[in-house]
Structure 1
């Protein structure tokens, strides 16, 4: 940036992102911006992509199913919050939150409610697939986890936020069907256009203690599509959230 005579604000203007996003790039060496932003930044700075984001270049030479794996984390909590924030912010057509509770988005992603509203109003499809707070699988999971912030309470947090957003075109919410609940609670799929963050829940562990995979779609029949199809199947059989429960 110094060599190109650009400040963070000037670079942000050239790339078409916020100053905060440029500051995240500077502050987090493990954060890899989307390909379009990388290309625009390199063009503005007059350097090769390998100089700024060598990991992105290395990922492109992967073959087979491995190339869709952007990163893996032994714990969901080990995934930097900037990754979640950037994926939510940059999605343009598809945001699908198919975690069983989805509650942590409201507390850990800055301005999440306002972003959901903005995305939906801009034509992005925003969906929340939740577990039924009164369902049998929810009660069983609460017994297994045995934590103060229960599963039904965490679902309730999401429902309250959705209710505050009110009826909003482009925003949908469903409960997974009773027969699908066990499959839903054991695997969370969060989709952001062609990126996905996937968490298989281990035994009695809560979500943030389970591993996480960051996937990026490269073609038909890959890992991304396998998990996306799983979430879509649950969604198709899901049941609309009753208005009294905070339906959007």
Structure 2
């Protein structure tokens, strides 16, 4: 189909195929094909031609309008859940059960795990006995950031109580070989549940309770990916967290 818009602009400006071709740096036959066959030149060539003609490039060649490019999906993304409530507790248990080298948990409270799976401590002991290094970091109930989260999520003092409850659940694991339990007062942008090369990330949204916020399941595929970013974040928090000691 001929490009009538291009033809009209060239006629109005007194441009011949040869003259425009010389200005743009192409063969006159190429310009002829642009007009008579409706061919679309390469973007750089089209930009030069449009500038020469004093016309908008997209008006001359609408096909050059860039479609919205889809974002590349990380190869490490296994699954994406709209909210944590959609993730069966078995998904958390399964990844922890499969761990052979590392288990890392970074939360403020996440007492839903013990509530829904009372054998969690037993599972962690079994993994530690099998040589798995386990690190558990729960929120410091007295920290400013925990209190701020409570206000943001309209929990009031509820989040502080849940942090204390979480620590109560994990206290029996203190001094178990291979298991470390610490409290942290960092701003919790994401709750992390790592088991070797798998990671469940509960993203946090301002003013939204964690169970309503999205979760993505990642599997590490190489250096420098999403998984490593979150793993490094855990290490940074762990380095600032305080070890929990036996009471009394």
The two structures have a TM-score, normalised by structure 1, of 0.66
Distance 2:123 2:157 in 1: 25
Distance 1:68 1:109 in 2: 27
| Aligned equivalent of 2:230, options 227, 230, 238 | 227
Give 2:200's aligned residue. Answer: 197
1:198 shift after superposition: 0.6
Alignment of 1:68-147 (within 5 A): 68-109=76-117, 111-147=119-155
Offset from partner CA, 1:41-94 (integer Å, 9 cap, x none): xxxxxxxxxxxxxxxxxxxxxxx7621000001101111222112111111111
159-168 vs 231-240, which deviates more? 159-168
Larger-Rg structure? 2
- Are the aligned partners of 2:76 and 2:227 in contact in 1 as well (CA < 8 Å)? yes
- Are the aligned partners of 1:65 and 1:222 in contact in 2 as well (CA < 8 Å)? no
1:217 shift after superposition: 0.3
Distance 1:199 1:163 in 2: 23
Distance 2:145 2:98 in 1: 34
117-126 vs 205-214, which deviates more? 117-126
Distance 1:79 1:149 in 2: 26
1:243 shift after superposition: 3.1
The two structures have a TM-score, normalised by structure 2, of 0.66
Distance 2:174 2:229 in 1: 32
For structure 2, the residue ranges without an aligned partner over 5 or more in a row are: 1-71
Give 2:11's aligned residue. Answer: none
For structure 1, the residue ranges without an aligned partner over 5 or more in a row are: 1-63
Distance 1:226 1:204 in 2: 25
Query: CA RMSD of the aligned region, Å?
Result: 2.0
Count of aligned pairs between the two proteins: 177
218-227 vs 135-144, which deviates more? 135-144
Distance 2:198 2:76 in 1: 9
- Are the aligned partners of 1:121 and 1:170 in contact in 2 as well (CA < 8 Å)? yes
